Amino acid sequence: MLRQCLLTGFFMNI
Amino acid sequence: MFEARLVQCSMLKKVLEAIKELLNEATFDCSDAGIQLQAMDNSHVSLVSLNLRSDGFDKYRCDRNLSMGINLASMTKIMKCAGNDDVLTIKAQDNADNVMFMFESQNQEKVSDYDMKLINLDQEHLGIPETDYSCIIKMPSGEFARICRDLSQFGESVVISCTKEGVKFSAAGDVGAANIKLAQTANVDKEEEAVTIEMQEPVTLTFACRYLNSFTKATALSPQVQLSMSADVPLVVEYKIGDFGHIRYYLAPKIEE
C-alpha cells in the first residue's frame, strides 16, 4: 500500500 | 498605495487559471520586489508558489508592503469581465479592505472598474530548504499535460522514473498498465520542443495523478515545464512566466507503507 506524504513533513513552518 | 499596470491582462487570467483548482483563497503579498503568493492546498499535499517580479509590470508602485487576502472565485468572476487585450491596473490603498481592478480597452474607449472586498486569511508560511535535485527534467509543457491526462485514466498514481537515458511515466490499475517513455531529444529546431535531462543519480518516485493534472492548468503560461526530483523529497513542477518570474508547484510523494 502507498501512503500519501504531507508537505509539512518536508518543509518547516515559519 | 499599491498600483500595478499590465498591458496584456491575459497573463493574470492564466495565472488565476493555474491556481484556482488547487486553492479557494490565497494571500497576494505585494512588496517593492513584486507580487508573491505561497499557499498549500486544503489537504496539505501540494503547495503553490508564485513570483511575479515588479520589473515585469508596465508600471509598478508599492509604497508599503501589503498582504491582500483574496477569494479566488470572486477574482475569477472579475477577471472574466476583462478582454484578453485589455490593459489592467490593480490599485489598493495602504491598509485597505478592498482592491480595485480597472480594465481599459486598447483604444481606451471602454473603461471598467471592479472593486473587490479583501478577506483576512491566516497565513501559514512554509520554509522550503534549498535542495540539490538528483534529476532535472525539462520538457514541452503540452507534452507533460498530455501524459498526465492520458495516465490518469489508468490509475490514481503516476510513477516517474528518471535515468540518463530518459524519463518514464507509468500508471497501473483495473484496466491494465501504461508506460510512456521520453528520450532526451538529439536535435530540435525549437528550444521549446526539447526534452533535456540533467541527472546526478537516477530517481523513481510516485505521485498522485490528480495533483499533477491540476498543475498542468499552468500550461498556457509557458511552452516548457521543469520537473525537479530527488529521492524522498517533494517534486517541484515549475513553469516560467515570461519576463515576470515563475509559478512552482511542490508535491509530496507517495511512499510504501
What pLDDT, on a 0 to 100 scale, did the predictor assign at position B96?
84
A2, A3, A14: residue with CB nearest B127 = A14
What pLDDT, on a 0 to 100 scale, did the predictor assign at position B190?
87
Q: pLDDT tens for chain B, 257 residues: list them.
A: 999 999 989 999 999 999 999 999 999 999 999 999 999 998 999 999 999 999 999 999 999 999 999 999 999 999 999 998 999 999 999 888 999 999 999 998 999 999 999 999 987 788 999 999 999 999 999 999 999 999 999 999 999 999 988 999 999 999 999 999 999 998 888 889 999 999 999 999 999 999 999 999 999 999 999 999 999 999 999 999 998 999 999 999 999 88
B208, B233, B256: residue with CB nearest A10 = B233
- The owner of cell 540539490 is B132
- Cβ pair B252:A3 closer than 8 A: no
What pLDDT, on a 0 to 100 scale, did the predictor assign at position B155?
95
B234-257 pLDDT tens trace: 999 999 999 899 999 999 999 988
Interface test with A, best of B205, B232, B254 (most A CBs within 10 A): B254
What pLDDT, on a 0 to 100 scale, did the predictor assign at position B165?
87
3-state secondary structure chain B: CEEEEECCCHHHHHHHHHHCCCCCEEEEEEECCEEEEEEECCCCCEEEEEEEEHHHCCEEEECCCEEEEEEHHHHHHHHCCCCCCCEEEEEECCCCCEEEEEEECCCCCCEEEEEEECCCCCCCCEECCCCCCCEEEEEEHHHHHHHHHHHCCCCCEEEEEECCCEEEEEEECCCCEEEEEEECCCCCCCHHHCCEEEECCCEEEEEEHHHHHHHHHHHHHCCEEEEEECCCCCEEEEEEECCCEEEEEEECCEEEC
Question: What backbone torsions phi and psi does residue B122 show, to the nearest 5 degrees?
Answer: -75, 115
B47, B125, B208: residue with CB nearest A7 = B47
Neighbour tally for B138: CB within 10 Å? 19
What pLDDT, on a 0 to 100 scale, did the predictor assign at position B94?
87
- Cβ pair B255:A6 closer than 8 A: no
What pLDDT, on a 0 to 100 scale, did the predictor assign at position B31?
97
- Cβ pair A2:B257 closer than 8 A: yes
Neighbour tally for B181: CB within 10 Å? 11
B45, B126, B250: residue with CB nearest A13 = B126
Q: Which three cell numbers stand for residue B94?
A: 495602504
What pLDDT, on a 0 to 100 scale, did the predictor assign at position B244?
96
- Cβ pair A5:B44 closer than 8 A: no
What pLDDT, on a 0 to 100 scale, did the predictor assign at position B135?
98
- Cβ pair A11:B126 closer than 8 A: yes
Closest-CA residue of chain A to B125: A14
CA distance B8 to B11: 7
Interface of B with A (CB under 8 A): 40, 44-47, 124-129, 157, 206, 208, 233-234, 250, 252-257
- Cβ pair B254:A3 closer than 8 A: yes
Quote the minimal CA–CA distance from A8 to chain B in Å: 7
A2-14 pLDDT tens trace: 999 999 889 987 7
Task: Give the 3-state secondary structure of residue A7.
Answer: helix
Identity of the amino acid at B93: Q
